[in-house]
Amino acid sequence: MSFLSRLAVKSSGFSCIRRMSVYPQHYAEPVVQKNKQIEQKSELAKLHHVPIKAAVNKASDTVFHDDTKEKMVNYITKKGNSALARSLLSKTMELIKRTQTEHMNLAKGDDKDKINTNAETLLKQAVENCRPLLQVTAIKRGGVNYQVPVPITTKRSYFLAMKWLLEAAREKERKVSLPEKLAWEILDAAHGQGRVVKRKDDLHRQCESNRAYAHYRWS
Amino acid sequence: MALRVFSLNLVKTNRNLLQNGFKSPAPPTGHMAPAASFATEVTVQAAPAAVQKQKVSKAMRAYLKRANEHDEFMKTQHLEFQIGKRHLANMMGADAETFTQEDVDEAISYLFPSGLYDPKARPAMKSPDVVFPARKAAEFDETGRPFHSLFYTGKPNFFQLLHDIVEETNKLADLEERMLRRGNKPDENQKLEIDGFHLLPKDQLELLLVESIADIEYSNFCNSMDRLIASPYAYKSKTFIERFLKPLMDQSNQLEVPKPKIDGEGRQYITTYECLRKTARADVTVRLPGTGKISINGKNISYFEDENCREQLLFPLQFSELLGKVDVEANVEGGGPSGQAGAIRWGIAMSLRSFVDQEMIESMRLAGLLTRDYRRRERKKFGQEGARRKYTWKKR
């Protein structure tokens, strides 16, 4: 159904599926970043007559805002304590920055310029390096469970990458703090090493060896 | 309106026919005239000469009786309405002849003040044409034979409309092919502008068709209209399409921007009362030539311990590039830090509208700063652990 009719359907107030959202379905998502607004100018011109949802309470348009960081905070959060999660992540970022700067200062000559000291890009690089392409799911055929490789969506691959990073960070001794361990894991993953990247490679290897079962996905 | 009056008139002609005993034979007329008025324009004269002498069918007789009754009823209702209007006009000391419906509404709300929440539940006096929904005129002749070929679908007007849409679409498709062969391109200047419009909602379409339609039928209508509108030559059937479009409200002009007042020091200021978010409630004052001072319940920004809440306060200021140029005063009560910060954020954004240009207002609207956030905590449901989470399922 196109945008036009979706509007009509919703304003007439009937729908077959029960929706839990407070906003009616014709409300559009807000575009919080100003540079994004300039980018999508032609599309946003169409929203002139469309009501917009309110910006969420962690949206902002500053240089400190980063989508990956925001997602990471959500995953770190336990029992709704996002303030703690935020402070943990900022401590992690600080530790990354410190270690990288130390490396840079110890390095000599040309190596100095090669060392990345930007914690945000390092985090992004780490998540990018940990993203799996495939996953195995158990499918029962003839009383036997087969591990069948299935492709996953981009969103899920990002979720898995961040989840694995956190799982690796939480698997630690009591004396080590979470930010410390998380910083190590992120630094390792950003350089394509470490347990999380290995986990991804293991999964890919398993998918590769089980490729003969792939047809169970549809037959 | 015209439609309803028309159908009433028809009922009248039908009655006349009954009285005349069907003495005036006439050649069968076309059943479907301009689609603007749907199928109410059938006349009972449409009987072919051969069947004319046959007796009137039971259905027709029942219909004529019903029509008669309805007509009488409407007549008395109209009379009563006119008398009531005169009374009202006298009570209000106005001229009864020039008393319009608007005056009636005003008089009613003055004489019968009502605190009821829903406007539909409040006392009202409206023309009987508005109160009683329009009815269809006879869809069959006196022998009981339907006029419309789609009569037995039960919803002839709706399905006729679908047919018309598809016919229109096919016409446009043919045109497109012909133009392609000739190497012509659709005129970009004449392109159909549908940005400010949406399709008629279901209830209004039902009123137009004088038929009730199911959800799935409405979505069929929407889909076929979409297909028609998507055609590059849609502007050729503009008049047809426009009948089923409804203009949307311009969102950023909807709320009037208040004019700033001048305080004792000669500064401009705007106060927004009732800034609500979750259970927090705030009123926010923004003063224009300022130094970026922020005071919340007498404290500065350190009123909020959480970094995120502070960021939320500054968000509208930073977005509209007025950070450090205005002073903000706020009184908040109720709710937690996040709700309070949200309430103040909305208040600041709403107040800032008076100090920025229209373009910035639209930009702020697109960023979702001017929308009141109505989301609340979702209640816990019985039989569930929380709002959405279910209890662990155990087979035994």
pLDDT recorded at residue B191: 83
Q: pLDDT at position B139, please?
A: 80
Give the whole-angstrom CA distance, residue B310 versus residue B303: 9
What value, to the nearest 5°, has the Cα angle with vertex B61 and ends B57 and B62? 115
Q: Read off φ and ψ for residue B237, nearest 5 degrees.
A: -110, 45
Closest Cα to residue B28, out of B192, B147, B149, B171?
A: B147
pLDDT in tens, B335-377: 999 999 999 999 999 999 999 998 899 999 999 999 999 999 9
Q: How far apart are CA A39 and CA A45, in angstroms?
A: 12
Other C-beta atoms lying within 10 Å of the C-beta of residue A68: 16
- B31 vs chain A: nearest CA distance in angstroms? 31
CA dist B125 and B105 (Å) reads: 7
pLDDT tens digits for A104-155?
999 887 888 888 889 999 999 999 999 999 999 999 888 899 999 999 999 9
Angle of CA points B156, B161, B162, to nearest 5°: 100
Spatial contact of B122 and B25, defined as CB atoms under 8 Å apart: no
The ranges assigned to domains in chain A are: 3-49, 67-217
Contacts of residue B350, Cβ cutoff 8 Å, sequence gap at least 6: B272, B275, B284, B370
Please tell me which of the candidates B195, B318, B374 has its beta carbon nearest to residue A62. B318
Q: Residue B29's pLDDT is what? A: 39
- The predicted structure's pLDDT at residue A25: 80
pLDDT at B134: 80
Closest CA relative to residue B371, chosen from B283, B232, B275: B275
B20-B24-B27-B29 Cα dihedral, nearest 10 degrees: -30
A-B contacts (CB, under 8 Å): 133
**CA–CA min distance B104, chain A (Å):** 29
Domains in chain B and their CATH numbers? Answer: 2-131 (no CATH), 151-247 (no CATH), 261-366 (3.30.230.10)
Provide the percentage of residues in chain A whose pLDDT is more than 90: 55
Cα separation, B17 vs B236, in Å, equals 42
With an 8 Å Cβ cutoff, is A19 touching chain B? no
What is the pLDDT, as a whole number, of residue B39?
Answer: 44
Q: Residues B110-141, buried b or exposed e (16+ Cβ, 10 A)?
A: eeeeeeeeeeeeeeeeebbbeeeebbbbbbbb
Instruction: State whether residue A107 sits within 8 Å of chain B by CB.
Output: no
Contact B200 A2 (CB under 8 A): no
Residue of chain A with shortest Cα separation from B319? A61
Q: Hey, CA dihedral for B232, B236, B238, B244, is it positive or negative?
A: negative
β-pairing verdict for B327-333 and B280-287 = antiparallel
- Residue B8, pLDDT score: 39
Superfamily of domain A67-217: Ribosomal protein S7/S5 (1.10.455.10)
| Cross-chain Cβ contact B219/A5 below 8 Å | yes
User: From the list A4, A46, A54, which residue is nearest B229 (CB)?
Assistant: A4
Distance (Å, rounded) from C-alpha A124 to C-alpha A120?
Answer: 6
Q: What is the pLDDT of residue B53?
A: 55
**Pairwise CB contact (< 8 Å): B198 & A46:** no
Segments of chain B scoring below 70 in pLDDT: 1-54, 252-254
Nearest to residue B60, comparing CAs of B145, B129, B154? B145
Q: Which residues of B10-44 are buried (b: 16+ CB within 10 A; e: fewer)?
A: bbeebbebbeeeeeeeeeeeebbeeeeebbbbbbb
What's the pTM?
Answer: 0.71
Q: What is the DSSP letter of B255?
A: S
Region of A119 please: left (phi>0), alpha (psi -120 to 50) or beta. Answer: alpha
Tell me the angle at which helices B337-352 and B307-319 cross, rounded to the nearest 10 degrees: 10
Residue ranges in chain A modelled with pLDDT below 50: 1-3, 5-6, 9-14
pLDDT at B14: 43
Q: Could you tell me where the beta strands, DSSP code E, fall in chain A?
A: 134-141, 144-151
Task: Closest CB to A48: pick one of B198, B250, B312.
Answer: B250
The chain A residue lying nearest B278, using CA atoms, is: A57
CA dihedral B312, B313, B318, B320 (to 10 degrees): 110
Q: For residue B49, what pLDDT is reported? A: 53
CA angle B322, A66, A185 (to 5 degrees): 150
